[in-house]
Amino acid sequence: MGVDMERARRMVSRVMRNAGLHVEELRVQTKNLLGQVVEESKVMGVREGRYKVTWSGGSSGRVVVRVTLHARDEDSARRAAERLESLGANVDVAEQRVHAVFRVRGDGVKQVLDSIDVAEKATRGGDEL
């Protein structure tokens, strides 16, 4: 049984709003080379000046969760990158900036929750990570 992307989109949006993020949603329909209509939804949650989490899901059943954060310091960035990598993300770090990408088959809600948790801790600083 496949993932209900509409339900997943609503859940992700609710999770982001409950975390206090500014949320924007986008839905796009395009045609692929075979003429089939492909639908994609995006939900982006932003904590201004600190981090952004983007969830993308489409009719293909694949979900991508991206997180970009600006950590308080390089040590927090390193710890955040290690934590996100241990959760299954592909991670890139440049000084205090961390960019991570999760590619999942499920609804991606857990990855969004984990990303918000790591980003909150990394941007606040301290030894929480």
Task: Find out if CATH 3.90.1150 is the number for domain 5-124.
Answer: yes
What is the model's pLDDT at position 67?
98
What is the model's pLDDT at position 1?
47
- pLDDT tens-place string over residues 48-62: 989 999 999 987 778
Which tokens is 55 given? 């969830």
Spell out, as residue ranges, where the chain has pLDDT lower than 70. Answer: 1-2, 125-129
What is the model's pLDDT at position 30?
86
Which tokens is 28 given? 């796009």
What is the model's pLDDT at position 2?
64
The pTM score is 0.88
> SS3 for 30?
strand
HSE of 126 in the Cβ direction (CA atoms, 13 Å)? 7
> Which residue, among 15, 72, 70, 82, has the nearest Cα to 44 in the 3D structure?
15
Q: Per-domain residue ranges for the chain?
A: 5-124
